[in-house]
Structure formats: C-alpha cells, structure tokens
C-alpha cells in the first residue's frame, strides 16, 4: 500500500468513528436520532452535514476541527515531499486509478477529489512532477493488462 492510501485509510477510520448518521427516510432519521441519544422530535439539536448526513449541534465544532486536522495532515505531507516522487506521486497514482484515468484520460475527477486545480499543478514543480510520474505509471499499468480470455 502506498503512503497516500495508508493516510487515506487512517483518515477514513477517523471519519467513520465520528458520531454522525445518514438518513434517506423518516424511519432512518428516527433510528439515527435514537443512535445519537436524541428523541426523533429534537430536530433543533441536530445540524445537516449534507448528503443526507446529520450530527448533533454540540458536535459541530469538533466535526469542523476533525476535517481541518485531516486536511492539514494531508497538506503537510504534500509540502514535505520536496521532489514529488513520494507522497505526491502516490496520491496521484491512487486517485488516477480510482477515477479510471487509464481508460478516460480525464484529470478533472482526480483533481476534484484532491481539492486541487490545474493552476495549482502548473504553479508547483513538485505537484507537476508527481502528476507526470503518476500518469506514466498508471498508463504503463494499463498497457500491461491482458484482456485476452480463453
């Protein structure tokens, strides 16, 4: 597993452990409220986090702090990669593969997932270098795939 995938897995565990619920029906909402220790009628005690998700209002500050911490760790690892050949390359390889770059040759979904713009890439030698290394690696892996089946 590459360094980016390790960090992403670690971050996902932190997010999964946060007390939040998702509901797409009244029944799911009522169950989620109970799991958060609230009465389903206490709608004034929760706040939406988008996508059907909600948290207790009392957890809102901690929720924001959690995301700030995760972003900071990710950005610190980017800054620490002085060549683009470590964490940055791993980051791009992972997200390019996740967004099927070897098939689509499309970067936008990858950049969106990483909260990066084409301008940021163009203005950063390490990001630019890491992306080029990752693109080559992903395309090389794709060219090695044998689609012949017997």
pLDDT in tens, 63-75: 999 999 999 999 9
pLDDT of residue 82: 97
Distance CA 67, CA 11 (A): 9
Number of C-beta neighbours around residue 114 at 10 A: 20
Q: Which two tokens stand for residue 43?
A: 């709608």
**Helices marked H in 81-124:** 87-98, 101-104, 108-113, 118-122
Residues composing the chain: 150
Tell me the per-residue pLDDT of 16-48, one tens digit each, with 9 for 90 and over: 999 999 999 999 999 999 999 999 999 999 999
| pLDDT classification of 143: cutoffs 50, 70, 90 | confident
Instruction: Give the helix/strand (H/E) hosting 69.
Output: helix 60-80
pTM of the predicted model as reported, rounded to 2 decimal places = 0.84
For 2-50, the DSSP string reads -HHHHHHHHHHHHHHHS-EEE-SSHHHHHHHHHHTT--TT-GGGEEEEE
pLDDT of residue 1: 73
According to DSSP, the residues that pair with 56 across neighbouring strands are: 46
149 by DSSP, 3-state: which?
coil
Number of C-beta neighbours around residue 88 at 10 A: 28
């Amino acid at each position: 597993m590459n360094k980016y995938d390790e960090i992403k897995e670690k971050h996902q565990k932190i997010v999964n452990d946060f007390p939040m619920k998702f509901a797409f029906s009244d029944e799911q909402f009522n169950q989620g409220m109970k799991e958060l220790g609230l009465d389903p009628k206490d709608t004034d005690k929760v706040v939406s986090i988008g996508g059907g998700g909600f948290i207790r209002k009392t957890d809102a500050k901690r929720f924001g702090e959690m995301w700030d911490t995760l972003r900071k760790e990710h950005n610190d690892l980017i800054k620490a990669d002085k060549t683009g050949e470590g964490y940055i390359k791993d980051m791009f390889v992972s997200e390019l593969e996740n967004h099927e770059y070897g098939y689509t040759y499309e970067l936008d979904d990858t950049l969106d997932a990483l909260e990066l713009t084409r301008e940021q890439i163009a203005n950063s030698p390490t990001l630019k270098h890491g992306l080029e290394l990752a693109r080559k690696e992903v395309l090389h892996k794709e060219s090695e795939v044998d689609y012949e089946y017997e």
